[in-house]
Amino acid sequence: MTIIPAIDIIEGACVRLEQGDYSKISLYNKYPLEVAKQFEDAGLKRLHLVDLDGAKTGSVRNWKVLETIAGKTNLVIDFGGGIKKEKDVQIVFDSGAAMATVGSIAAENETAFLSWVIKYEPEKFFLGADTKNEKITIYGWQKITGIDLFDFIQKYISQKVNNIFCTDVSKDGKLQGPALELYSKILGKFPKLHLVASGGISSINDLEDLEKTGCSGVIVGKAIYENKISLRELELFQSKS
Please state the length of the chain. Answer: 241
Q: Of 8, 15, 22, 120, which is closest to residue 66 (Cα–Cα)?
A: 8
C-alpha–C-alpha distance, residues 32 and 50, integer Å: 11
8 a catalytic residue: yes
Catalytic member of 130, 168, 172, 206: 130
C-alpha–C-alpha distance, residues 225 and 98, integer Å: 24
Strands 194-198 and 2-10, sheet pairing: unpaired
209 a catalytic residue: no
**131: buried, middle or exposed (CB in 10 Å: 19+, 13-18, 0-12)?**
buried
**46: buried, middle or exposed (CB in 10 Å: 19+, 13-18, 0-12)?**
buried
Catalytic member of 8, 53, 88, 172: 8
Element of type H or E holding 58: none
Active site residues: 8, 130
